[in-house]
A = this chain, B = another copy of it.
Amino acid sequence: MAGDSFGTLFRFTSFGESHGPALGCVVEGTPPGVPLDVAAIQRALDRRKPGQSRFTTQRREDDAVEILSGVYEGLTTGTPIAFLIRNTDQRSHDYAAIAQRFRPGHADYTYWQKYGLRDPRGGGRSSARETAARVAAGALAEQVLRHLLGTGFLVRGALVEMGGVAIDRARWDWGETVRNPFFAPDAAIVPQWETLLDGVRKDGSSVGAVIEVEALGVPAGLGEPVYDRLDADLAKALMSINAVKGVEIGAGFASARLRGEQNADEMEPDGQGGVRFCSNNAGGILGGISSGQPVVARLAVKPTSSLLIPRHSVDTAGQPVEVVTKGRHDPCVGIRAVPVAEAMVSVCLLDHLLRFRGQCGARALPR
């Protein structure tokens, strides 16, 4: 209710600023008895952490996670699991120049309007650094989902467009996403994006991106009509990620250009007593409830608002100023948003799995 929590039965509450002592989150509602693989959570954080290639911010953070509660002898106990990540590479002096200036495209002006004051160091709470907490919660959620649903459950994301240059879906290979610094599922796009991003960095500019996330092995029945629909909650989850300006499910905006007979995914018996869908324009969600097909979402990430190119703005005294952002930052925040998007999808799905189990029992669940 107060804004820093996500989820209902499975819920995490995050805290921390970019340049404060630490960030983290408290996760409530984890089912008990799940073996916790702490190393896997750290690996998820490592995928998101900065400084891993020349294409992301050069801030150096280990993002080493400490688990403070909720685990006993390697198993979740059902009580809150708190994650703590210390900040170690704050350089607050980088931000002194912009403490009294509102960086265009940033949250500086709106935080100041809302709260009457703000922590200017690295964007304070509005920094994407907060997303480390999401990744920790998401990695936990994914482990629980695999425990409950079996290894057929999987959430994975990819960058499908950067700076207006889209991948070729015919070349899609999920295996590629771990072999390049862009989470690109298309090996051939990598050199193009490298060149593009090197130019962007040289210009002191930035670019946007589009991310696609899919979840496999999601049982049918998740999602609460009519407001807490699975797609509505996914839209909220993904739109809450820093710099995201659009979300679509399945065919998304393209579905608005299809005829009804093209768009409606036909069904046929799967020969094993179940149903097979002939297409997935719905992105695995019908009437707000999962259908058993892969859940597919895409999100648009705007270009980083931190720029070396001067922009017109005003200061807190209302005077016109030019703003240049010299702090370390990502030329394309969309890249590191891929593991964040995966995390939010995992959290959403686990929350809805528990809600489904609560209201409806275990009807459709594998176990």
| In-complex Cβ contact of A80 among B15, B236, B311 (8 A) | B15
A110-B287 in contact given A258-B208, A318-B275 (Cβ < 8 Å): yes
A8 within 8 A of B: yes
Q: How far is the CA of A113 from the CA of B222 in the complex (A)?
A: 9
Per-residue interface assignment for chain A, residues 184 to 226, with 1 indicating a CB less than 8 Å from any chain B CB and 0 otherwise? 0000000000000000100001111110000000001111111
Task: Give per-residue flags for A243-281: 1 if the beta carbon is below 8 A from chain B beta carbons, else 0.
Answer: 001111111110111111111111111000111001001
Option from B10, B69, B314 in Cβ contact (under 8 Å) with A268? B314
Which one of A20-28, A40-48, A51-59, A173-181 contacts B? A20-28
Name the B residues within 8 Å of A265 (CB-CB): 104-105
| CB-CB under 8 A for A11 and B16, given A72-B124, A232-B240, A260-B205 | no
Contact indicator B245/A283 (Cβ below 8 Å): yes
Q: Least Cβ distance of A152 to chain B in Å?
A: 17
For A305, give the chain B residue with the smallest CB separation.
Answer: B264
* Residues of the B chain whose Cβ atoms lie less than 8 Å from the Cβ of A10: 2
> A214 CB to closest chain B CB, in angstroms?
15
One of B2, B200, B205, B287 near A8 (C-beta < 8 A):
B2
Closest B residue, CB atoms, query A164? B257
Q: How far is the CB of A62 from chain B (nearest CB, A)?
A: 17
Selected from B223, B253, B268, the residue in CB contact (under 8 A) with A300 is B253
Q: Is A66 interfacial (CB-CB < 8 Å)?
A: yes
The quantity of this chain's copies bound in the complex is 4
* Chain B residue, CB-CB nearest to A279: B104
**Given A78-B114, A107-B225, A303-B263: A256 and B210 within 8 A (CB)?**
yes
User: A14 in the interface, Cβ–Cβ < 8 Å?
Assistant: yes
Asked if B364 contacts A113 (CB within 8 A), the reply is yes
Cβ of B9 and Cβ of A363 under 8 Å apart? no
Which residue of chain B has its CB nearest to the CB of A162?
Answer: B256
Least CB distance from A201 to B in Å reads 11
Q: Which residues of B contact A68 (CB under 8 A)?
A: 15-16, 20-24, 84
19 pairs from A and B in contact (CB 8 Å cutoff): A2-B8, A3-B224, A5-B5, A5-B11, A13-B13, A15-B68, A17-B77, A21-B68, A23-B68, A31-B360, A32-B116, A75-B117, A105-B265, A111-B225, A206-B260, A245-B250, A256-B334, A267-B314, A357-B361
Q: In the complex, given contacts A113-B363, A247-B247, A355-B358, what are 19 additional A-B residue pairs having Cβ atoms less than 8 angstroms apart?
A: A2-B28, A13-B13, A21-B66, A31-B359, A33-B116, A79-B225, A107-B288, A107-B289, A114-B360, A126-B226, A205-B259, A206-B260, A245-B252, A246-B247, A247-B248, A255-B300, A260-B304, A260-B306, A354-B359
